[in-house]
Structure 1
């Protein structure tokens, strides 16, 4: 059995195949997922698993250099944005890597997910609790 924090074999497999600048999306329960993109559905019921738990766990395995969020999170889910910023700050302190945070309109965000290696669907039901992670390099 794997010893690390991330036990989900499909998520672990996607991360292991990612190269520099490849992307992985973590989504709330409502984000539309393109048919052309691999869907890893972790949602069990409203709020489980929480977006923040999935993000923290994925960041324990993936080297990330930049993230993209929807502009709308600033107005419609400022608490969620603060939680994401706290998780990223903790990641930066623990890993020594710096993550650039970018924002775009939600419609553009949805289009951008089509290029993701996969979309991980959480049980999160807070608005705009979605993030695209872009892989960095560990050297």
Structure 2
């Protein structure tokens, strides 16, 4: 059994298949899941697990070279935006662009988050 890092076997297995530039989405419970994109749904009630909890767990085990968030988060959910920016530098795109980009994702992790625009697209980097 893994001692450190991501212990969710579905997420750990999916992340092990990532290569450079593959896309990972962590989304709130309202983000549409495109047909054909693998989704690991962690939600079990409204608000749980929280988006930031899952983002922290993923970033501890995933090399992200770029991140994208919806610019609408600035007005609608500044607390989550500030926490994201403490963890990594994210570029702003529109929420519609984020949903289109999620069609190219290798994996979407759905949280129970129920605050506006608590979604992020992470582009896989390399560790060397």
TM-score by length of 1: 0.89
In the alignment, is residue 120 of structure 1 matched against residue 113 of structure 2?
A: no
Q: Alpha-carbon deviations, 1:21-79, whole Å to 9, x = none?
A: 11100000000001110010000101111101100000111111100001100110011
Indicate the residue corresponding to 1:67 in structure 2: 67
Q: Secondary structure at the match of 1:35?
A: coil
In the alignment, the residues of structure 1 paired with residue 5 and residue 62 of structure 2 have an alpha-carbon distance, to the nearest angstrom, of: 12
* Runs of 4+ in structure 1 over 4 Å off: none
Aligned residues: 128
2:95 matches 1:106:
yes
Work out the CA distance in 2 between the residues paired with 1:65 and 1:12.
Answer: 19
Task: Tell me the C-alpha RMSD between the 2 structures.
Answer: 0.9
Structure 2: segments with no counterpart, 5+ residues: none
Note if 1:45 corresponds to 2:34: no
Structure 2 equivalent of residue 82 of structure 1: 82
Q: In the alignment, which residue of structure 1 is the partner of 2:13? A: 13
Q: Which runs of 5+ in 1 are unaligned?
A: 89-99
Taking the aligned partners of 2:44 and 2:86, their CA distance within structure 1 comes to: 25
CA apart distance, 1:5: 3.1
**Residues in 1 aligned to 2:15 and 2:99: alpha-carbon distance in whole angstroms:** 21
Secondary structure of the structure 1 residue equivalent to 2:96 = helix
Residue in structure 2 matching 1:132, options 114, 121, 124: 121
